[in-house]
Structure 1
């Protein structure tokens, strides 16, 4: 039995919609290796960490010029403090990534390779070389370095001789680069860490510290 035309028109005007189920998630489909995924394989996605001080529009105008790639990057403002940087070659993309961690207007921002991730807070990871100091020589082991590193984030690489680790830091968590350590005898000491940019590994940077 067909519905009266008046009822159909009421639905079109929104008068017959049941709003109780509006919070039900709309199921999306995954097409696997879709053209969209291939289109963004040479893209970086970024997010500002201090929206009050960082304008996305000004950032995507300023940073390509700072990297001397203003003619090689196209940028899109994605809203909600996020943006997309598109490259023509893998070489150009990697040359920018190697200059991280990144900051604009004296505040850090996240910039990572685009992935098909569905999450309101994505992206949130910043990789750092973290140099460890203050550990007694007889306790200088990979195991102890890892115990310290995992309190800072996810450990990618450990270089024992250099006393440093490549760590993926979660920007959603409160950040501190000073940790207390305790010896097997229970003696405590402060273990400061130093953050090193990925490309300039001899240069020190503390611009990401949110608290001491």
Structure 2
């Protein structure tokens, strides 16, 4: 007799990943060719269900976008036209409930952290005038992320920043004769982030690094 209640089933303690197969499904690729995949960075402050309801209205595209909650803080926006999709992408950094979220064009990528890139306009200052060149700005920008665009006169760079790492707010630069100076780095539209470790995934009150520092101080006392 078949055990319909599941009693007596022995489950193997096998932690090996189950193999998935790529069947080169062109239909699936076409289906998501006008989709943006996103991820909340601060799940304690950002509700995915509310976000995917709110943002299309914020963009005034509530009738042109459908949305799906993908679980694990990820979501999908499906667009009816390429123009609408590009209009959203051109807005650059995005936030909901005063916290950042990631939104990029969908690609067939499998990774727990995907997507993780946010484009930031970054302002550089403090470089000696005779060293204010595209090459030098690009070298600085490469330490922050992938450099997309450089506006030399304004000292601004559009940089794709990896949100898994804390933003860099200052860097030391060295002149050709060996003189060093520390330059500040300012991120446009950078919303809530941890002031202890710098990560965008939580605020100071939830920072594990802060807890460790407090424990260390208690032990010393």
Matched, 1:207 2:199: no
CA contact (8 A) 2:116 2:162 kept: yes
CA contact (8 A) 1:175 1:210 kept: no
Matched, 1:126 2:118: yes
Correspondent of 2:12 among 11, 19, 35? 19
| C-alpha distance in structure 1 between counterparts of 2:71 and 2:190, whole Å | 28
Aligned residue pairs total: 195
Per-residue displacement from partner, 1:61-91 (whole Å, max 9, x unpaired)?
Answer: 1111111111111111111111111111001
Q: Secondary structure at the match of 1:47?
A: strand
Per-residue displacement from partner, 1:140-181 (whole Å, max 9, x unpaired)?
Answer: 123321221111111223343443222110000011232222
Correspondent of 1:52 among 44, 50, 55? 44
Aligned pairs for 1:9-158 (under 5 A) are 19-20=12-13, 22-158=14-150
| C-alpha distance in structure 1 between counterparts of 2:137 and 2:12, whole Å | 54
- Further displaced range: 90-99 or 28-37: 28-37
| C-alpha distance in structure 2 between counterparts of 1:25 and 1:209, whole Å | 34
CA, structure 1 residues 150+97, in 2 after alignment: closer, same or farther (shift >3 Å)? same
TM-score between the two structures when normalised by the length of structure 1? 0.82
CA contact (8 A) 2:102 2:118 kept: yes
TM-score between the two structures when normalised by the length of structure 2? 0.79
| C-alpha distance in structure 2 between counterparts of 1:27 and 1:152, whole Å | 36
1:185, distance to aligned residue in structure 2 (A): 3.4
1:60, distance to aligned residue in structure 2 (A): 0.8
